[in-house]
Amino acid sequence: MSSTPTAVVTGGNRGIGYAVAQELVLKGYQVVLLARDRQRGETARSALGALGGSEVALAVGDLSELSGVRSAAQALLASCPRIDVLVHNAGIWPSRLVRGEHGLEQAFVTNHLAPFALNHLLEPRLVSSRARVVQVSARLYVNGRVDLERTPTGADFHPLRTYADTKLCNLLLVPLFAQRWSAAEVRINAVHPPVVRTGLGDRAGVPGYLLKAMKMLWKPPRAGAAPVVRLALGEAASDVTGRYFHIDKETSLAPVARDVALAQQVWAQALELSSLPRTASSSGAPNVA
């Protein structure tokens, strides 16, 4: 097995993901970009390769569909003998309701089910490398709510709140993964990076123009990448796991994200929707006191 550490960055072809990949390449990591669009991914891979650091590879997968998540996981398992860092950066803020496979809402899959399924499907590599997993989150989770019957299909879709809902679903499960991996010494933490100038949440029409004008005042993606990279390298939290960081400061989760009973239900539902086996307990979720 190669001694060069490997980092997988989802949504690594642009925005914060690209900036994270850039920093990890400069730190000597072999970086694997996971992108939905092959052409854009190849453009990013080529630009990163020109930095003169370690090797940069590309895996293609559409994380808005569970079939795409599985295909991406298979490609990563085939090409990555080790995974030392996994950065879940890919995410969407939808402006309209889009349903995909099995009638699941697109943001629910991308923001919540995709990281959940990848954690399970890549688990052998994560465990063998004692990896660090970083979940790029959003402080808007505090405005989210989870309706187990309606949220998966977008029956409660809202162009502003759905992003918060799906980020909350994802964040509820970070402590459960931390418990699942505690003996294996795999660390997982979530971070809300500073608001930066990316394409997330872009809209058409007048609202879109206003948003783009406002974004011109925001910091560049590199500023958003910095706290993600610090967690990935263990600089912000060497032995901490299952925690939430607001930029560089470890912060207690709001009560809405500390609902243990709801987290157990969200975990069990995610297993079922992702067609993953229930192994940890009768409910499929680790028990958290």
**Contact in structure between 174 and 242 (CB atoms under 8 Å):** yes
* Among the listed residues 157, 104, 119, the one whose alpha carbon sits nearest the alpha carbon of residue 8: 119
Active site residue 18: no
14 CB neighbour count, 10 Å cutoff = 19
Q: Which residues contact 264 (CB under 8 A, 6 or more apart)?
A: 176, 283, 285, 287, 288
In 36-186, beta strands by DSSP E: 56-60, 85-88, 132-136
- Secondary structure string (H, E, C) spanning 4-57: CCEEEEECCCCHHHHHHHHHHHHCCCEEEEEECCHHHHHHHHHHHHCCCCCCEE
Within 13 A of 139's CA, how many CA atoms are on the CB side?
11
Q: Which of 18, 163, 209, 244 is catalytic?
A: 163
Task: From residue 255, give the alpha-carbon distance in Å to each of 145, 171, 208, 263, 285.
Answer: 11, 12, 33, 12, 20
* Among the listed residues 190, 287, 167, 169, the one whose alpha carbon sits nearest the alpha carbon of residue 241: 190
| DSSP class of 190 | E
And the tokens for 97?
Answer: 């309701």
Beta 6-10 vs 30-35: how paired, if at all?
parallel
CA dihedral sign of residues 22, 23, 26, 31: negative
**Catalytic annotation, residues:** 163
